[in-house]
Structure 1
Amino acid sequence: MVRGRSGSLSSSWDPKNLSDLENYYKSIKVNILDYQFEFIIKKNNKSNRTLLVLLKERVLQIFKLSKRGQKKKFKKYDISKISKLTKSKKDNKEIIIYRRNGKKELTISFINTERRECFYELLWLAWLNKTLPTSEVKAPYQNLSFFVSTWNMGDAPPPSDLNSWIPKDKYDLYILGVQECEYSPRERRYEQCQDDWFGTLATHLGHNYYKVEGTSLVKMRIVVFARKEHYYTINYIEKTSIPTGIGGVYGNKGATMISFQVFETSFCFISSHFAAHQEKIDARNHNYREIVKVAQMGNKDMDILNQFNYVFWMGDFNYRIDHLFREEVLVAIKKKDISKLLIHDQLLKQKAMEKVFFGFKEEAITFYPTYKMERHKKGVYTEEKQRTPSWCDRILTRALPYSHPINCVEYKSATNILTSDHVPVYGVYECFVRLPCLPVPQSLIKKCNILFFDLRAENLDLIDGQSPDPYLVFHPSSFIEEEISTPHASKNRSPIWGDILPIEPTIHRQTFLETQHLLLTIYHDDEVLGHAAVPLALGFSSQPFPFATRITKYGLQAGILYGAIHIVYLNENPSTPLVKSPLRTSPTLQAEQSANSPLSPNINTGKLSPPLTTTTTTTSSSSPPTTPTKISNKPPLPPINKPTPPNLSPSLLNNNTNTHHNVSNINITESLPLDYLNITNDIVIGGEDDNDGFDSNNNNNSLHIATDTLNNSKMTIQPPPMIQRTKSELRRSI
Structure 2
Amino acid sequence: MSTVTPRNSPLHLVTWNVGTASPPPDVTSLLQLNSVSPTTDMYVIGLQEVNSKITNFLSDLAFDDPWSIFFMTVLSPLGYIKLSSVRMQGLLLLIFVKHVHLPFIRDIHTHYTRTGLYGYWGNKGGVSIRMSLFGHMICFMNCHLPAHIENTEQRLDDFEKILEMQFEGENVPSPLDHEVLFWFGDLNFRIADYGIHFVRESINNKRFSLLWEKDQLNMAKKNEPFLKEFKEGPLQFKPTYKFDLYSEVYDTSEKKRKPAWTDRILWKVKNLSEVASKEGEFPEEENLISVTLNNYVSHMSYGISDHKPVTGTFKLEMKPLVSDPLVTLNPEGEWSAEHDVLIRYSAVPD
Aligned match of 1:537: none
Matched-pair contact (CA < 8 Å) for 1:137–1:438? no
Alignment of 1:405 onto 2:276: no
- Tell me: CA distance 1:223–1:395, structure 2 relative to 1, closer, same or farther (3 Å): same
Cα offset, 1:384, TM superposition:
4.0
Equivalent pairs, count:
301
- Across the aligned residues of Structure 1 and Structure 2, the Cα RMSD in angstroms comes to 2.3
- 1:150 counterpart (12, 15, 22): 15
Structure 1 CA distance for aligned equivalents of residues 323 and 73 of structure 2: 39
Specify the code of the residue in structure 2 equivalent to 1:428. Answer: T
Structure 1 CA distance for aligned equivalents of residues 322 and 303 of structure 2: 48
Structure 2 CA distance for aligned equivalents of residues 183 and 227 of structure 1: 29
What are the within-5 Å matches in structure 2 for residues 134-283 of structure 1?
136-168=1-33, 170-182=39-51, 194-207=64-77, 208-283=79-154
Matched-pair contact (CA < 8 Å) for 2:134–2:322? no
Aligned match of 1:416: 301
Cα offset, 1:206, TM superposition:
3.1
Cα offset, 1:434, TM superposition:
2.5
- Tell me: CA distance 1:231–1:302, structure 2 relative to 1, closer, same or farther (3 Å): closer
Cα offset, 1:261, TM superposition:
1.4
Cα offset, 1:176, TM superposition:
0.5
Matched-pair contact (CA < 8 Å) for 1:285–1:356? no
Structure 1 CA distance for aligned equivalents of residues 151 and 60 of structure 2: 37
Matched-pair contact (CA < 8 Å) for 2:134–2:323? no
- 1:425 counterpart (310, 314, 318): 310
Aligned match of 1:366: 236
Matched-pair contact (CA < 8 Å) for 2:22–2:66? no
Structure 2 CA distance for aligned equivalents of residues 400 and 303 of structure 1: 13
Specify the code of the residue in structure 1 equivalent to 2:312. Answer: G
Alignment of 1:303 onto 2:174: yes
Matched-pair contact (CA < 8 Å) for 1:360–1:397? yes
Alignment of 1:385 onto 2:278: no
SS at match of 2:138: strand
Structure 2 CA distance for aligned equivalents of residues 168 and 272 of structure 1: 26
Specify the code of the residue in structure 2 equivalent to 1:386. Answer: K
Structure 2 CA distance for aligned equivalents of residues 294 and 310 of structure 1: 16
Aligned match of 1:324: 194
- Tell me: CA distance 1:312–1:173, structure 2 relative to 1, closer, same or farther (3 Å): same
Matched-pair contact (CA < 8 Å) for 1:182–1:193? no
What are the within-5 Å matches in structure 2 for residues 593-632 of structure 1?
none
Structure 1 unmatched ranges of 5 or more: 1-135, 440-734
Structure 1 CA distance for aligned equivalents of residues 245 and 102 of structure 2: 38
Deviation string, structure 1 residues 541-573 (Cα, Å, up to 9, x no partner): xxxxxxxxxxxxxxxxxxxxxxxxxxxxxxxxx
Specify the code of the residue in structure 2 equivalent to 1:246. Answer: L
Structure 2 CA distance for aligned equivalents of residues 163 and 355 of structure 1: 39
Cα offset, 1:378, TM superposition:
2.2
Specify the code of the residue in structure 1 equivalent to 2:25. Answer: S
What are the within-5 Å matches in structure 2 for residues 512-591 of structure 1?
none
Matched-pair contact (CA < 8 Å) for 1:139–1:438? no
- Name whichever of 400-409 and 317-326 sits farther off: 400-409
Cα offset, 1:302, TM superposition:
4.4
Matched-pair contact (CA < 8 Å) for 1:210–1:226? yes
Aligned match of 1:86: none
Matched-pair contact (CA < 8 Å) for 1:238–1:258? yes
Structure 1 moving runs of 4+ over 4 Å:
183-186, 189-194
SS at match of 1:421: coil
SS at match of 1:280: helix
Specify the code of the residue in structure 2 equivalent to 1:285. Answer: L
Cα offset, 1:280, TM superposition:
0.3
Specify the code of the residue in structure 2 equivalent to 1:431. Answer: L
Aligned match of 1:312: 182
- Tell me: CA distance 1:162–1:430, structure 2 relative to 1, closer, same or farther (3 Å): same
Structure 2 CA distance for aligned equivalents of residues 204 and 438 of structure 1: 30
With a CA cutoff of 8 Å and minimum separation of 6, indicate the structure with the bigger relative contact order: 2
SS at match of 2:65: helix
Matched-pair contact (CA < 8 Å) for 2:236–2:297? yes
Structure 1 CA distance for aligned equivalents of residues 48 and 322 of structure 2: 40
Q: TM-score, normalised by structure 2?
A: 0.80
SS at match of 2:157: helix
Matched-pair contact (CA < 8 Å) for 1:411–1:428? yes
- Tell me: CA distance 1:438–1:317, structure 2 relative to 1, closer, same or farther (3 Å): closer
Specify the code of the residue in structure 2 equivalent to 1:435. Answer: P
Query: Matched residues, percent identical?
Result: 29
Aligned match of 1:727: none
Structure 2 CA distance for aligned equivalents of residues 320 and 193 of structure 1: 36
Structure 2 CA distance for aligned equivalents of residues 285 and 294 of structure 1: 15
Q: TM-score, normalised by structure 1?
A: 0.39
Deviation string, structure 1 residues 187-234 (Cα, Å, up to 9, x no partner): xx9787852111100111232110000010011000100011111111
Structure 2 CA distance for aligned equivalents of residues 400 and 355 of structure 1: 15
Specify the code of the residue in structure 2 equivalent to 1:142. Answer: R
Structure 2 CA distance for aligned equivalents of residues 370 and 328 of structure 1: 17
Cα offset, 1:304, TM superposition:
1.7
Structure 2 CA distance for aligned equivalents of residues 293 and 300 of structure 1: 15
SS at match of 2:218: helix
Cα offset, 1:356, TM superposition:
5.1
Q: Which has the larger radius of gyration?
A: 1
SS at match of 2:175: coil
- Tell me: CA distance 1:200–1:183, structure 2 relative to 1, closer, same or farther (3 Å): farther
Structure 2 CA distance for aligned equivalents of residues 409 and 438 of structure 1: 26
Specify the code of the residue in structure 2 equivalent to 1:179. Answer: Q
- 2:204 counterpart (334, 339, 342): 334
Aligned match of 2:265: 395
What are the within-5 Å matches in structure 2 for residues 40-119 of structure 1?
none
